[in-house]
Structure 1
Amino acid sequence: MPENRRTRITGIGSALVDILINESDQFLKTLEKEKGGMTLVGDKDIQQILAETNQTPFVVPGGAACNTIVGIGNLGGDARFIGRRGDDEFGQTFEQQMVDCNVEPLVSISGSPTGKVLSVITPDAQRSMFTFLGASTELDPNSITPDMFQDTAISMIEGYLLFNRDLMIAALTAAKAAGSLVALDLASFEVVNASGDILEDIIKDFVDILIANEDEAKAYTGFDDEQKAVEKLSQGVSYGVLKVGERGSYVSHHNDIIRIDAIKGKAPVDTTGAGDLWAAGFLFGIAHGFSIEKSGQIASACGYEACQVMGAQLPEEVWSRIKKLI
């Protein structure tokens, strides 16, 4: 690999703190919350739930792009994250844990509380999520400059930014001005459906690496057929990626479609963050000049291991095991 090759990956997205507690089904019933899914709540609601549990919460950085960038940092990559947090204990914890994971935080501070997602995990391993977006929604499009993406090989843009179109355009424009490739993860089929009027133009004009799971790909391409979906995903980009869960993934590059096998092993404990960490492995490989096959192998290992733990943060011994593939 040439010495002057860029390898930095910079992510931009929601700076959220994941708070996980293990609780009983009865505890969830007292909250009058149906099991599974996500509910938007106020910060006081989360504080009240935490006050009612006697379980010690597990607190880690969260948000889709953040999960990917933390994964890259843990792989030993040059990683940077752009976001906005509150001037509070949760925000300080978020930023310090990013540093601990070898990520450079470019995180501005708001007077609003740090965004957070409280996940109540019941004995059947289901997660019921209470989300307060807080300061994460206040990232100012006018504050996003090419300097933030300096020396970046790949900029990872969180699909949820499409709900703030000015911010999305600002991030894409700044990343391109800095000479970076742009990777866009479509985030959810709701994001795709809500952005149908601008999504194809954004992808054509800015995106080099387009990543989608089955639901997102169907919403974007209209195809159930995997072959047709990945062909449509690859139009206008250098890499079109279709993730199909336990069946693996497809990567289209220069009109060649490469099948990447998933790792077979134990049944999943929790799939949260699996797609984000799959992206971490794949983008790390591409940024370092690895083949698509090798990048996909690292991605599959990251995605598999994410399914074996609660939440999207892997222990150090797991990262050591994955890094042996590199």
Structure 2
Amino acid sequence: MSCAGTAGSKRCTLAELQEILASVGDFQSKAGGSASNVGRALASGFSTPVQVVGTRGPDEWGAMYSSAMRRAGVDTERMRVLPEGFTGRSAILTCDGERTMRTFLDPKVSTRVEDLSVDDFSGCSFVFLSSYCLYSEGLLQRAVQLAREVGAKVVLDLASYEVVRSYHKQLMEVLGGGGIHFCICNEDEAQMLLRCAEAAAAATPAAGGAVADDAVAAAGYPPDSSLPAAVLGLLLRHCEGAVVTRGVLGCVAGRRGGEGLVAVPAVPGVAVVDTTGAGDHFTAGFVYGLLSGQSLERCCQVACLAGAAAVRVVGAELSPNDWQWFHTRLHGDLAGDVVQDSSAAEVAQVAAVVAVELLGCYALIGRLGRGAVYFGSARLAQGSPYWSRAVRLAERVSQLLGSPVWTGGGPGMMRAASEGGLRAGVPVGGIRISREAGTNVLTMEDYLPAGAAFTCTYMPTRKVALTDAGARQSPEQRTAYLFLPGGLGTMDELFSILTLLQLGKLGSALPVPLLVLNWDGFYDGLMALLQAFDESGALRASEVREVMVARTNDEVLEYLARFYDLPVPDPEPDPIDGDGDGNGESPLDSAEEPAAAAATDGDASDVGDRLRHLSTDGAGPSPSPPLTAVAVAAADVGRAASGSGSRASGRASGAATPRSAGAHAVSAEEVLHRLAPRK
């Protein structure tokens, strides 16, 4: 079929659409549309929570659309199904990689101003709008208004040069309203925008000449700039930023605030099969970059690569293999197209999955915000000695810091901390793994709010994400790592973070509190183990200075309040449940004074002798080594916490370890010093 004279995008009647389809023979049917393609790419390719807002008909085409969007992970609850009419359809003809579009939109199912409400945008940080909304009078203006009401940033795509030409006045009114964060267009749309602006300026004598030159000068670009620079100058009068796509030449972008003009080339060596959806995937990549706080140049790089992935296939929907191609190039070309070794290909496949999962985790963290991260056993569920204390701790910490709560999203201590955050009314998020220790079923529990959890295939992905959820990047962020009673998985996460601290690789721009909850002496054995490391020379006590050991919830609250220079909350007894007595003491914290004196004044030559003196006061058989280790660490933690000569160090934030007369959290370094054998 000849493509001559058919380029561009125009509206047509249903009869014309059917005539076109009848003339081409076989064709493929795909769910799509500009905004839908962007949303689907963000959901399936970048694991970003997306909801689509609009209307569709009750026909099979509408049902196919909704089903396809849900399969991609897009929330369609805000897609209204009207009782009559036809779902919008478009015939897309491809010739030599370029496309011609003819679109039928039934007036009976077009989204109207009255169809939108503030609830459609509630909870969204970004709203993507296509200028095709101008087909329905007032719709684009209403959507921008509602987005501003909920504090969402609007990304506007100019859609097509026909839309720009036909609705230039309305488009400039929307841009002039100041509600557009970023504007995206291609060179055809950019040229039409400038041409219409010049025509409007010529028709208005007071304007005094070409708007394009004035706009370029206002943006700091010379009057003889190229087309992209000229249109960027015009758009930057009204928007925070703008980007012009240039096909095989890549893109050019600009943003207010000093980054200047950024030009990024297209991805080389990509054979163009079909350009349908390429611009939409470019937009999805660019929006993801904005969501994740990337630089303007990095946003453009991700966008160009996403657009390149789209032109390799027919249609506007990428398969999992196509997204794998994208992510292996975005995060390091482990295999590429020339890998022959099957083991290397398997590694590349795993790497691609990990990359996608990390993107999903980072998107969730970016949406909910960094906060207090709780680690703990999946086995210690409701009814354990620690359940109520964990719930109340998370509730009180949330009330103090006002920060989100993050956990592994599973059962046990993770659920307890999540419930505490929910009671306090802060955002609660979970980075899940498909199976937790001690459970026989997938732990996709329903206690978290919708869209507040992400499930990882691999443990390292979850560890990295939970660590990032507590990393402070600005003084306004109040984060913490809190280790509740736990087993092997909790220890894995604790020692991972301790190692990052030891090597200076935590990735946090500012210090982060790290507290171990030593309720009823649960972690006395851990303290004894660290002391053994210190004694052997494998660890320096100063390397665990950042680890604070607390026996009660009050000690945690006091330490965090002083760390972040907040009012110290009123003390309250820890909740009592299970077999725990709620006082936070270790089994031998209440040992008689002679035992304490033995610990202070004894001259035992090795740690074992000191442990026996502490736990038995020299009478009767010595307890087993595990019990002895627990007793000593607990006794010394108790004395370090209540003694007036605590050496716990001050923090880089300026808040010192509490020195009140009552018990308080102490540094693990202090504990190890008190456990050190006497010479």
- Given residue 33 of structure 2, which amino acid in structure 1 is its aligned partner? G
Distance 1:250 1:212 in 2: 10
Query: Conserved in 1, the CA contact under 8 Å of 2:112 and 2:137?
Result: no
Does residue 145 of the first structure (1) align with residue 117 of the second (2)? yes
In structure 1, the residue matched to 2:370 is none
Q: TM-score, normalised by structure 2?
A: 0.41
Correspondence for 2:561: none
Which of 152, 161, 174 is 1:180 aligned to? 152
Is the contact made by 2:98 and 2:275 (CA closer than 8 Å) also made in structure 1? no
Q: Residue in 2 aligned with 1:220?
A: 193
Distance across 2 between alignment mates of 1:153 and 1:137: 27
Question: Is there any run of 5+ residues in structure 2 with no aligned partner, and where?
Answer: 196-211, 213-225, 331-358, 360-679
> Could you tell me how far apart the structure 2 residues matched to 1:225 and 1:184 are?
19
2:307 alignment counterpart = 303
Aligned partners of 1:128, 1:166: CA distance in 2, in Å? 27
Q: 1:285 aligns with which of 289, 308, 317?
A: 289
Alignment of 1:211-250 (within 5 A): 211-222=184-195, 225-250=227-252
Amino acid paired to 2:193: Y
Q: 1:92 aligns with which of 56, 60, 63?
A: 63
Which residue does the alignment assign to 2:143?
171
The aligned amino acid for 1:197 is K
Contact 1:116 1:134 in 2 (8 A): no
Q: Which residue of 1 aligns with 2:325?
A: 321
Question: Secondary structure of the equivalent of 1:242?
Answer: strand
Q: State the Cα distance separating 1:228 from its structure 2 match.
A: 2.5
Q: Distance in 2 between matches of 1:193 and 1:54?
A: 33
Deviation, 1:227, is: 2.2
1:49 Cα shift?
6.2
For residues 94-127 of structure 1, the C-alpha deviation after alignment (integer angstroms, 9 at most, x for no partner) is: 00100111111221112101111133557x5665
Higher percent of residues as strand: 1
Q: Say yes or no: does 1:65 pair with 2:65.
A: no
- Alpha-carbon distance between aligned partners in 2 of 1:126 and 1:225, rounded to the nearest angstrom: 21
Structure 2 CA distance, aligned partners of 1:65 and 1:314? 15
Query: Which residue identity does 1:307 align to in structure 2?
Result: V
Q: 1:226 to 1:166 in 2, by over 3 A?
A: closer
**Cα drift, residue 51 of structure 1:** 6.6
Q: Tell me the CA shift for residue 71 of structure 1.
A: 0.9
CA contact (8 A) 2:270 2:308 kept: no
Measure, in 1, the Cα distance between the counterparts of 2:170 and 2:18. Answer: 38
CA gap of 1:87–1:155, structure 2 versus 1, over 3 A, is same
CA RMSD of aligned residues (A): 2.6
Structure 1 CA distance for aligned equivalents of residues 100 and 228 of structure 2 = 30
In the aligned structure 2, how far is the partner of 1:276 from the partner of 1:67?
A: 6
**Structure 1 match to 2:85:** 112
| Counterpart residue type for residue 99 of structure 1 | R
Higher relative contact order (CA 8 A, sep 6+): 1
| Amino acid in structure 2 at the alignment position of 1:151 | G
How much does 1:218 deviate? 2.0
The structure-2 alpha-carbon separation of the partners of 1:47 and 1:231, relative to structure 1 and needing over 3 Å to count, comes to closer
User: Secondary structure at 1:84's aligned position in 2?
Assistant: strand
Find 2:264's aligned residue among 254, 260, 265: 260
Superposed displacement of residue 173, structure 1: 1.0
> Secondary structure of 2:90's partner?
strand
Aligned-residue offset at 1:291: 2.1
**Residues in 1 aligned to 2:91 and 2:34: alpha-carbon distance in whole angstroms:** 15
Identity %: 27
Question: Which amino acid is 1:225 matched to?
Answer: L
Say which is worse superposed, 147-156 or 190-199, in terms of deviation: 190-199
Q: Describe the shift of the 1:322–1:267 C-alpha distance in structure 2 as closer, same or farther (beyond 3 A).
A: closer
Asked whether the 8 Å contact 1:83–1:136 carries over to 2, the reply is no
The structural deviation recorded for 1:38 is 5.3
> Does structure 1 retain, via aligned residues, the 8 Å contact 2:9–2:101?
yes
For the pair shown, the structure with the greater C-alpha radius of gyration is: 2
Alpha-carbon shift at residue 226 of structure 1 (Å) = 2.7
Residue 47 of structure 1 deviates from its aligned partner by 5.0
Instruction: Give, in angstroms, the shift of residue 68 of structure 1.
Output: 0.9
CA gap 1:237/1:37 in 2 versus in 1, 3 angstroms = closer
Q: Distance in 2 between matches of 1:264 and 1:136?
A: 45
Cα deviations across residues 197-252 of structure 1 (Å, max 9, x unaligned)?
23333113211111111121122234553322222222221111111111111221
SS at match of 1:258: strand
C-alpha deviation, 1:37, in angstroms: 5.2
Q: Distance in 1 between matches of 2:87 and 2:65?
A: 9
- Cα drift, residue 134 of structure 1: 2.2
SS in structure 2 at match of 1:59: coil
Q: Distance between the aligned counterparts of 1:94 and 1:239, measured in 2?
A: 32
**Alpha-carbon distance in structure 1 between the residues aligned to 2:102 and 2:163:** 19
The 8 Å contact of residues 84 and 108 in structure 1, kept in 2 or not, is answered as: yes
Point out where structure 1 has 5 or more consecutive residues left out of the alignment: 1-24
| Residues 53, 216 of structure 1: alpha-carbon distance in 2 compared, 3 angstrom cutoff | closer
Q: 1:214 and 1:48, CA in 2 relative to 1: closer, same or farther beyond 3 A?
A: closer
Corresponding residue for residue 253 of structure 2: 251
Please give the TM-score of this superposition, normalised by the length of structure 1. Answer: 0.81
Alpha-carbon distance in 2 for matches of 1:261, 1:53: 35
* 1:161-214 per-position Cα deviation (integer Å, ceiling 9, x unaligned): 123231111111111111100111111222222223233331132111111111
Distance 2:99 2:193 in 1: 27
Deviation at 1:285, TM superposition (A): 1.3
Cα displacement (A) at 1:284: 1.0
- More displaced stretch, 136-145 vs 173-182: 136-145
Deviation at 1:45, TM superposition (A): 5.2
Matches of 2:86 and 2:237, distance apart in 1? 41
Q: Does 2:306 correspond to 1:269?
A: no
Q: How far apart are the structure 1 equivalents of 2:17 and 2:184?
A: 32
Query: By how many angstroms is 1:322 displaced?
Result: 2.2
Q: Is the aligned partner of 1:82 residue 2:84?
A: no
Is the CA contact (8 Å cut-off) linking 1:40 and 1:130 kept in structure 2? Answer: yes
Query: Per the alignment, do residues 118 and 150 of structure 1 end up closer, same or farther by CA in structure 2, a change over 3 Å counting?
Result: same
Please say if residues 127 and 154 of structure 2, whose CA atoms lie closer than 8 Å, have aligned partners that are also in contact: yes
Partner in structure 1 of residue 517 of structure 2? none
Q: Deviations over 1:31-67 (max 9, x none)?
A: xx97655564443554566678763x42222211111
